[in-house]
Each structure stands twice: as structure tokens, then as C-alpha cells.
Amino acid sequence: MSMPMLGEKFPELEVQTTHGAMKLPGDLKGKWTVLFSHPADFTPVCTTEFVSFQKHIDEFDALGCQLVGLSVDQVFSHIKWMEWIKEKLDVEITFPIIAGNDKIAEALGMLHPAKGSNTVRAVFIIDPEGVTRTILYYPQEIGRNISEIVRAVKALQKSDAEGVATPANWPQNELVGDHVIIPPATDEKTAKERLENYECFDWWFCHKPQ
């Protein structure tokens, strides 16, 4: 099984989607992207996920982040499923869905033989330069937490903009609240300055308001 690696360019792929042909990652350049796969159309857990992604789309839009779905179903199946969701659940899915195949799924590490022939629930967060920044894999039986994916995009953007790290459960961490973490010092002078300039548990564990 191959898969994209963190910090590397997302694999170049030409795909068909419900919004037409697309080249990855070239057509995504300039925006953050969440590309997520689902096992199959017309399945209960996947339906709840698509509805949830759509319900959170204003949050993704506010972050300049686009959503792209993917499964090995064909485009006509995606279209029919989207029609069903709109008719039965009154939710219109506005983001594109890729019609994948085994080659695409294998290139992205989405086929796990021990989990059957459907794609697992993969999430790739891709930055505006087409670099893979976060990868999450879930089994077919567990639906994803969409709020966590929003949080991950926010945290990556915060880290890039300010050169900081974010703590567990940020921005609601049990130790530092909504503060961000200052990278550890690499010399004695900077270590002393850290203690003077920031709130610290020790010189290697300093934080500041975001």
C-alpha cells in the first residue's frame, strides 16, 4: 500500500468529479483543501458525514478551504446520491465528489485489504502549495468528527502564520486554555529570554495568548 507522505507534494492525479474534470493538486493550488474518501454511496454513515461536511461548509469557507469528496463509485452514482440527500434530507451538497478507481485509491493508500474492497475513510489536508499536511484514516464503521477536521485546518494555519504549535484540544486545552505553544529554545541565551518574555512551566514549555 502506497500513500502520500506528510510534507510531500500530493500525488498528481487526473480525476472526474461531479463538477467536471479536475487535476490534483494543480487545480487546488492557492487554497487549503480537505480531500476525504468514503467507502460507498448510499450508505448510512457516509450520508451522515456528507451532511455534516455540508453543514460545516461556512466554517471551511471562512478558512479559505475547499472540500472534495471521493469514493470508487462512478459519477452517475454520486449525482443520484446527492439528489437523494437533497430530496430526502433537504441538504444540497455543493462541493465536488471524485469518481475514483482502484488506481487512484491505491495511490492514496485508501484500500486496506483486511478491511474489504471499499475505500477506508481517509482525510488529507492539503495546503495552498499542494503539500500534504495532515492525514487521517478511519475504519468504515466509524464516522468522522468534522469539527476536528475544521480545528486541524485552523491549527495548521495558525502554526504557519505565527511559527507556533497548538496544544492538545486547542483552543480548549486543559493546561494553557486557548494559548499557543512557543517552540523550544535552541541555545542558553534564548532559553533565558523565553522565561522572561512568555508564560512558562519551564524554558522548554512556554506559551502565549493566540
Catalytically active residues, by annotation: 46
End-to-end C-alpha distance for the chain, whole angstroms: 39
List phi, psi (to 5°) of 10.
-65, 140
Q: Among candidates 90, 98, 95, 106, which has minimal Cα distance to 41?
A: 98
Give the cell for residue 29: 493550488
d(CA 70, CA 99): 6
Grid look-up 471551511 returns 60
State whether residue 1 is helix, strand or coil: coil
Sign of the four-CA dihedral 129, 134, 140, 143: negative
d(CA 150, CA 39): 21
Residue with cell 437523494: 84
